[in-house]
Structure 1
């Protein structure tokens, strides 16, 4: 135990020295952006109607990787479940305990309908949890490809210009197309010429307080300690999928579509009475007996708006928490890398909580959608 303790202390000291003292081993402050970064060189490889020709993003790659791990987990666990062992051991025993505990928890909320809802509840938890935790693997979101920043900015400007012209119903002239091609070729030539030789130096010198004086080399290129001075950045191969709105929005849409599906499945078209109470048979007589029910259409409209707003809250709750956590780890690693020992534990906990909250809210919404308006009134 004593030897292990000294080894741990030595590793912490080395982390402080190499992460905060020695300049050339300090973590690099990355080029942080909200959308998923496109792998350089993959523009136009994927179908235009799916990815708008932008290329493969690192968040899309992370989603595929997470699903591959889930499928591998299914194969391993399913294979073990067919053995003749009466008492399971090892990882299968741990996984079975987790699934059984989650099922009992879901049964307390959904009751006998848990068999219908549990696959969605557990699937959301597993895929979101795995996506969140994979981002904590060292090197997961810091190893990647070089990208020339001016070229990246030029591509973004060209896309915006093209979108504006198309939206206005205008077409490009041959001269304009030729000019855009020349600009792109010049940017790529510069990237190929200076990338391998000066990329590391320019990137490392981008780790500085914005506004510091800018230095230039013999070729007139900026190399000063200024964030905007670097010509190159690193696009990670992977980035936590839940830090991309496309992924969180897709899960939110799936969750809420299934909520409406189960509402219609269990209540039929009577499910619409929740939003449009005047469609209910005999609603006029109920209003005559109890005039307060005249406000039910307004309440139903609020319920309808609430159903739509759940998609927004689902999406941005998960996105905001995970993206903020990623930025926090980057910034703390740049300021004092050893501090991330504490923040890694925090993000580990946040990843679990966000996965459970998403699955739990989906389960609650599915359960409440099948109860019906009359059941709520009788309950009250």
Structure 2
């Protein structure tokens, strides 16, 4: 389905640079990913340029957001989770802003592209096992053996399949929800450009927040599992 209006395509047409958008889906995801990164950098700069003891404005808002993420990490991962706060917070903030960008007319959410989500999911997958081996050494392999030695070969195969399915489930869950919501918005905007899409956009804010929470929570659970001792 063709998006009714995208700022990127409009600018390319005005500047006679149509050749740059021959593969629009991949290019849109990359460009809007960079846009999200610039937004996050700008917010970080505004929040930290004049730090006050009694926070106001952007600093106050970001302290609430960061504090909420930190509390969730403490509740989900325990004391060891604080070490991985930068990783989890980066996932949460990037995914949230990426999801919300799609609600701005003329903009495309990077998370509506499977490549973006799969890259995020592969990062979670890789970091989970890197952290596991860092924490336990070769003993981390016991996580894949199960509690009964006789069943270790069978459990190893089952565990490997389960772990390999994680990136697929993480990426498809986020992609399916964001792409589906993008299609719904496109249909409503095409049929009724005014008023009617507003409730859908409000629902989009809820969907964006829920999907961010689900992805971040699953990432925390996977990493917490790698930190635990094998039984």
Provide TM-score, normalisation by structure 1. Answer: 0.54
The counterpart of 1:248, out of the listed 117, 135, 160, is 117
Specify every segment of 5 or more residues in structure 1 that has no aligned partner in the other structure, as ranges: 1-29, 45-53, 141-238, 278-285, 287-291, 375-380
> In the alignment, what sits opposite 2:171?
315
In structure 1, distance between residues paired with 2:174 and 2:142: 31
For 2:47, the equivalent position in structure 1 comes to 77
Contact 2:131 2:227 in 1 (8 A): yes
Distance apart, 1:347 and its partner CA: 0.8
Cα shift at 1:108: 1.4
Alignment of 1:8-87 (within 5 A): 31=2, 40-42=18-20, 57-81=27-51, 85-87=52-54
Equivalent residue, structure 2, for 1:328: 184
1:150-229 matches, cutoff 5 A: none
The one-character-per-residue Cα deviations of 1:275-330 (angstroms, maximum 9, x if unpaired) are 246xxxxxxxx9xxxxx642232122111111110010011111110000000001
For residues 196-215 of structure 1, what are the alpha-carbon distances to aligned partners after superposition, in whole Å with 9 as ceiling and x for unaligned?
Answer: xxxxxxxxxxxxxxxxxxxx
Aligned to 2:79: 112
| Rounded Cα–Cα distance in structure 1 between residues aligned with 2:118 and 2:105 | 27
**Matched residue SS, 1:331:** helix
Which structure 2 segments of 5+ residues have no match?
13-17
Q: Is the 8 A contact 1:103 1:118 kept in 2?
A: yes
Q: What are the Cα deviations for residues 159-207 of structure 1, in whole angstroms up to 9, with x where unaligned? A: xxxxxxxxxxxxxxxxxxxxxxxxxxxxxxxxxxxxxxxxxxxxxxxxx
Over 3 Å counting, the alpha-carbon distance change for 1:43 and 1:129 in structure 2 is: closer
Q: Could you say which residue in structure 2 is the equivalent of 1:200?
A: none
Within 2, Cα distance between the matches of 1:268 and 1:345?
A: 47
How far 1:246 moved relative to its partner? 1.1
Larger radius of gyration: 1
C-alpha distance in 1 between matches for 2:144 and 2:213: 28
Q: Determine the C-alpha separation between the residues in 2 that align with 1:91 and 1:317.
A: 31
- 2:216, 2:50 → 1: CA distance? 26
Distance 1:336 1:76 in 2: 37
For the residue of structure 2 that corresponds to 1:63, the secondary structure is helix
Q: Distance in 1 between the 2:176 and 2:72 partners?
A: 27
- Count of aligned pairs: 218
1:262 aligned residue:
131
- How big is the shift at 1:332? 1.6
Root-mean-square deviation (CA, aligned residues, Å) is 2.2
User: Residue in 1 aligned with 2:223?
Assistant: 366
The structure whose residues are more often helix, as a share, is 2
Query: 2: CA distance between counterparts of 1:43 and 1:270?
Result: 49
SS at match of 1:87: coil
Residue aligning to 1:300: 156
